[in-house]
Copies of this chain bind each other. A is one copy, B any other.
Amino acid sequence: MCQLLGMNCNTPTDICFSFAGFQRRGGATDVHADGWGIAFFEGCGARLFLDPQPSCKSPVAELVRNYPIHSKNVIAHIRKATHGRVALENTHPFMRELWGRYWIFAHNGALPENLAPPTEASATHDEATESGFQPVGTTDSEAAFCWILRQLRQRFGATPPARDDLFSTLQALTLELGARGEFNYLLSNGDWLFAHCSTKLAFVVRKAPFDVAHLADEDLSVDFSELTTAADRVAVIATTPLTDNEQWTTMPAGSLWLFEEGEPVAQAATVAAPPRTTPLPGCTDTCTP
């Protein structure tokens, strides 16, 4: 399995502190040594640093840890390979362009090798659709990302949806894929950050009054009150909490979250309601309503 780290802010913020702890999990304090990557949105541009080396030893990770890049949306990933060999093309996050915006995606979990959900198998042949949003590597994760983008393009054509339409569509797509395996993910287009907890994901929102935070993976503290203004708000999302003295919220399994301007603004269930087994009034046996 892998680990995810995301950040969504209302003002461009660097992720050096959180990344310092996260980086240690890539082969030092934890076993995720099969590559790592991080993507920063800066306006609508995106920078993607990838390295198939363990993050705890990677010169690129050292650069990221020490070079403060200010961003409103960041997605990082450290990998423990399950599907797909250790190689650059299998290193998360993945990036594609849709509707003139970059989309960044990272996944923690495992999906079936042959990812052809029923809605796509029955779709009519579309050469243009088939020629783009194809995986370059061999991970289940990139296959899932490409499938989501193909679905979005098929549903919305040339016109990007409004935020809430996008969220409800992602909820439906995640429900479909999430039924097939473990599917924790982070997805962003630079405006919004979508976080799906299939089994394990937590977040903390830092806002005024800011305080000292202490990393769980390294003896390193930062006093955010010295680095922030009263208006700043930063949400940090991670597979497991990165600090040991802050109040992290554990997301329920099967929940999709939308973060905007440094806070969660929407949440939706991504598990099908369990089948009803208790008799309904008027039934003599178990009913399907």
Contact = CB atoms under 8 A, between A and B. Distances in A.
A97 B132 contact: yes
A220 interface: no
Interface string A9-51: 0000000000000000000000000000000001111111111
Contact of A99 (B49, B50, B131): B131
Interface stretch (A134-142, A250-258, A265-273): A134-142
Contacts of A185: none
A137 B44 contact: yes
A158 B134 CA distance: 10
Contact of A98 (B45, B102, B131, B156): B131
Given A45-B88, A63-B63, A130 B158 contact: yes
Nearest to A157: B127
B67 A60 contact: yes
Interface string A127-163: 1111111111100000000000000011011100000
Q: Is the interface of A mostly helix, strand, loop or mixed?
A: mixed
Given A46-B88, A49-B49, 13 more contacts: A42-B89, A43-B87, A43-B88, A45-B90, A45-B137, A47-B48, A59-B63, A96-B97, A97-B133, A98-B131, A128-B154, A131-B153, A132-B132
Interface residues of A, number: 45
Contact of A131 (B88, B127, B137, B157): B157
A90 B88 CA distance: 25
A285 interface: no
Contact of A132 (B50, B66, B88, B153): B153
A5 interface: no
Contacts of A158: 127, 130-131
A153 B128 contact: yes
A95 interface: yes
A245 to B, nearest CB: 31
Contact of A63 (B44, B60, B91, B99): B60
Interface string A151-192: 001101110000000000000000000000000000000000
A42 to B, nearest CB: 5
Contacts of A131: 98-99, 153, 156-158
A201 to B, nearest CB: 27
Contacts of A132: 97-98, 132-133, 153
Contacts of A136: 44-45, 97, 100-102
Interface in A100-120: 100-102
